[in-house]
Amino acid sequence: MTPDRTPLPKLIVGKIRGIKLHTKILLGLILGAVFGPLLGNIAVQIKPVGDAFINLLIMIVVPLVMASLIVGTASLGDLRKLGRIGIKTVGYYLVATALAVAMGLAAGKAFKPGAGMDEETKASMLADYAGVTEEQLQRVTEKPSLGDFLVRIIPRNPFRAMAETNFLQIIFFAILFGIALTILGEQHRKPVLDILNTVNDAMIVLVKMVMRVAPYGVFALIAAVSAQFGYGVLLTLLKYVVVAVGTMAVFTVTFYPISLRLSGMSPVFFFKKYYEVMLFAFSTSSSNATLPVNLEVSENELGVSNQVAAFVLPLGATVNMNGTAIYQGVSTIFIAQVFGISLGLMDLLTVVLTATLASIGAAGVPGIGMVTLTIVLTQLGIPLEGIALVVGVERILDMTRTTVNVTGDTACAIWVAKTEKELNVPVSEEVSAYA
Ligand code: ASP
């Protein structure tokens, strides 16, 4: 037998090439977390690599959603079906979000993360982060009424909606455009749909290309976060972080598996296919940036039809934030406890309502959950300085809640697809998908 004479570097490169993409992304994440603090300033300097990666994803999202939703609506054939999909999706999102806030509140009440913080720590945190509170105070704008909200869903200029990545407006326009195409005869519709189909396919090709550089982007993002992260703050707020992250984890391993089972899908199969999307969400802290990958995996690996995914997922990126809802429940209780404010049942119901509504209008971008938290605090009359108590661990909680947020969108898409007979797992996977 001839010994293998492949030179070592080539062997290593070959081995690395052989690793599956999702394993590489996970490696990027782990290595970033481990080496970030060691690299220090260098890690901060390579952050543009991570930002470039996020920009690449965001670059794809608007044309992808637009093309895919117009094609999806125009090929639906039956507008009543669209109405049904809409009602089911919004219903699911409202129930899941309200349940998530309630779970966050219950966990906060049960584990009392804010009880026992000494006055000195509290005073020093309030002083350290006073600037952030000022900024938040300026960002709290008047809450729009329901009427305003509905009017604002209609874009005066669809191109502006696209330029601002305003998903609610984009969805509104794309559906109407799709309906208009359906009304036009086949002959008129076809050339437009052919082009949009090609745009859609080209965007998917781009998603796949960006996914190949994901391990490096994820490494750069996580390295920068862990290099800059205040581990001291983490220790001070450990109980709060554990309660918040723990509740999100419990929600993820209870609510979603139940929803998946109701949709006839094996949760093990789901998480095996989906954890790559979760890694994207965790590293980018943005449901919007994760959307292209989420659409790709939900349609091609989990079998959700284009019609359902193209509508349910972009809507979810804006409207459905289960992780954020849990965060708001836990944080409200935490801040109230530190300030010694006790919240009665009515207050808790106010939190459920306000947090659910606040999450509807918030875009899936980094840090938005902390902004909408101010709405909840204002509603309850809790001092907004309280934000200063949680800001030190904001990034890590943002990463976690984004992961839970996107998972909720896909769990809903699978359920809606199942009930609409639009769930078609690839034949080769059927055995494990329905196990
Ligand atoms: N970053 C989250 C998301 O994109 C929203 C939040 O800040 O809670 O889903």
* List of domains in the chain: 43-55+93-148+214-433 (1.10.3860.10)
Closest-lying ligand 1 atom to the alpha carbon of residue 368: 7
Predicted confidence (pLDDT) per residue in 225-248, tens digit: 888 877 778 888 999 999 999 999
Supply the pTM of this predicted model.
0.89
Residue 316 Cβ inside 6 Å of ligand 1? The answer reads no
For 184, residues 6+ apart whose C-beta sits below 8 A from its C-beta are: none
Residue 402 Cβ inside 6 Å of ligand 1? The answer reads yes
Closest-lying ligand 1 atom to the alpha carbon of residue 365: 4
pLDDT value of position 80: 86
pLDDT value of position 136: 60
Strand partners, 423: 304
pLDDT value of position 318: 87
Tell me, in angstroms, the distance from the centre of ligand 1 to residue 361's CA. Answer: 12
Closest-lying ligand 1 atom to the alpha carbon of residue 371: 7
Residue 422 Cβ inside 6 Å of ligand 1? The answer reads no
For residue 398, CA distances in Å to 93, 285, 392 come to 19, 6, 11
Three-state secondary-structure class, residue 1: coil
d(CA 401, CA 324): 5
d(CA 242, CA 267): 24
Closest-lying ligand 1 atom to the alpha carbon of residue 364: 4
d(CA 32, CA 43): 9
Tell me, in angstroms, the distance from the centre of ligand 1 to residue 326's CA. Answer: 12
Which residue bears the tokens 């696209």? 162
For 7, residues 6+ apart whose C-beta sits below 8 A from its C-beta are: none
For 28, residues 6+ apart whose C-beta sits below 8 A from its C-beta are: 214, 215, 216, 217, 218, 219, 222, 283
Tell me, in angstroms, the distance from the centre of ligand 1 to residue 289's CA. Answer: 11
Task: Decide if 217 contacts 52 (C-beta within 8 A).
Answer: yes
Tell me, in angstroms, the distance from the centre of ligand 1 to residue 360's CA. Answer: 12
Tell me, in angstroms, the distance from the centre of ligand 1 to residue 253's CA. Answer: 20
d(CA 255, CA 93): 12
**Residues of the chain under the 70 pLDDT cut:** 1-5, 129-145, 361
Residue 368 Cβ inside 6 Å of ligand 1? The answer reads yes
d(CA 305, CA 426): 11
pLDDT value of position 134: 63
pLDDT value of position 234: 81
d(CA 189, CA 73): 12
Closest-lying ligand 1 atom to the alpha carbon of residue 288: 4
Structure tokens at 41: 């300033």
Tell me, in angstroms, the distance from the centre of ligand 1 to residue 214's CA. Answer: 20
pLDDT value of position 139: 56
d(CA 381, CA 132): 19
Residue 367 Cβ inside 6 Å of ligand 1? The answer reads yes
Residue 324 Cβ inside 6 Å of ligand 1? The answer reads yes
Task: Decide if 241 contacts 111 (C-beta within 8 A).
Answer: no
d(CA 73, CA 175): 6
Indicate the burial class of 138 (C-beta count within 10 angstroms; 0-12, 13-18, 19 or more): exposed
pLDDT value of position 150: 81
**Nearest alpha carbon, ligand 1 atom 2:** 402
Annotate 306-331 with b (16+ C-beta within 10 A) or e (fewer). Answer: bbbbbbbbbbbbbbbbbbbbbbbbbb
Tell me, in angstroms, the distance from the centre of ligand 1 to residue 426's CA. Answer: 31
Tell me, in angstroms, the distance from the centre of ligand 1 to residue 17's CA. Answer: 33
Closest-lying ligand 1 atom to the alpha carbon of residue 402: 9
d(CA 50, CA 36): 13
Q: In angstroms, what is the C-alpha Rg of the chain?
A: 23
Task: Decide if 287 contacts 59 (C-beta within 8 A).
Answer: no
Task: Decide if 414 contacts 260 (C-beta within 8 A).
Answer: yes
